[in-house]
Amino acid sequence: MPSRKTVISASSGLWMKSLKHLVVFSSLCCLISGYSERERVHDLMSRYPLIDGHNDLALQLRILHNNQLSQIDLYNVSKVATDITRLQAGHVQAQMFAVYVLCGAQEKDAVRLTLEQIDVVRRMCTEYQDFELVTSAQELRNSEMKHKIACLISIEGGHSIDSSLPALRMFYQLGVRSMTLTHTCNTPWAESSSKIYNIYQRQNNSLTHFGKAVVEEMNRLGMIVDLSHTSWDTAWAALKHSKAPVIFSHSSSFSICSHGRNVPDWLLHDLKKKQGLIMVNLHSKFISCSDEANISRVADHFDHIKNVIGAESIGIGGDFEGAVSFPQGLEDVSKYPALIQELLQRNWTENELADVLRRNFLRVFEEVERVRDRLSLNRPSEVQISVKEVQNPCRLVLRPPDPRRPSDMSPSSRAQNGPKGLLILVIPLMLSSLLMIE
Residue-wise pLDDT for 192-235, tens only, equals 999 999 899 988 789 999 999 999 999 999 999 999 999 999 99
Domain for residue 437, yes or no? no
Is 250 considered catalytic here? yes
Query: Rounded to 5 degrees, what are φ and ψ at 274?
Result: -85, 0
Per-residue confidence (pLDDT) for residue 36, from 0 to 100: 85
- CATH of residue 374's domain is 3.20.20.140
Is 156 considered catalytic here? yes
Active-site position among 132, 217, 226, 319: 319
Segment (H or E) for 53: strand 50-55
Domain around 156: 39-387
For residue 131, list its beta bridge partners.
Answer: 149
Domain for residue 20, yes or no? no
Helices (H) then strands (E): counts for the chain: 17, 9
Per-residue confidence (pLDDT) for residue 10, from 0 to 100: 47
| Alpha helices in 156-264, H assignment, sequence order | 165-173, 209-221, 232-241
Domain for residue 367, yes or no? yes
Domain for residue 93, yes or no? yes
Domain count, the chain: 1
Per-residue confidence (pLDDT) for residue 391, from 0 to 100: 84
Cα angle 70, 49, 179; round to 5 = 65
Is 319 considered catalytic here? yes
pTM of the predicted model as reported, rounded to 2 decimal places: 0.85
Q: Which is nearest to 175 in space by CA: 222, 232, 109, 238?
A: 222
Domain for residue 429, yes or no? no
pLDDT band at 418 (very low <50, low <70, confident <90, very high): very low
| Alpha helices in 265-399, H assignment, sequence order | 265-273, 284-287, 295-309, 336-345, 350-354, 360-374, 387-390
Distances, alpha carbon 433 to alpha carbons 6, 159, 201, 377, 422, in Å:
131, 53, 50, 73, 17
Residue-wise pLDDT for 323-370, tens only, equals 999 999 999 999 999 999 999 999 999 999 999 999 999 999 999 999
| Alpha helices in 105-151, H assignment, sequence order | 110-127, 137-145
| Contact indicator for 131, 151 with CB cutoff of 8 Å | yes
Domain for residue 379, yes or no? yes
Active-site position among 229, 259, 283, 301: 229
Segment (H or E) for 37: helix 4-47
| Contact indicator for 229, 182 with CB cutoff of 8 Å | yes
Residue-wise pLDDT for 290-323, tens only, equals 999 999 999 999 999 999 999 999 999 999 999 9
Domain for residue 398, yes or no? no
Active-site position among 54, 91, 259, 301: 54
Per-residue confidence (pLDDT) for residue 162, from 0 to 100: 97
Does residue 60 have a pLDDT over 50?
A: yes
Does residue 426 have a pLDDT over 80?
A: no
Per-residue confidence (pLDDT) for residue 202, from 0 to 100: 85
Active-site position among 83, 156, 226, 300: 156
Does residue 5 have a pLDDT over 80?
A: no
Domain for residue 87, yes or no? yes
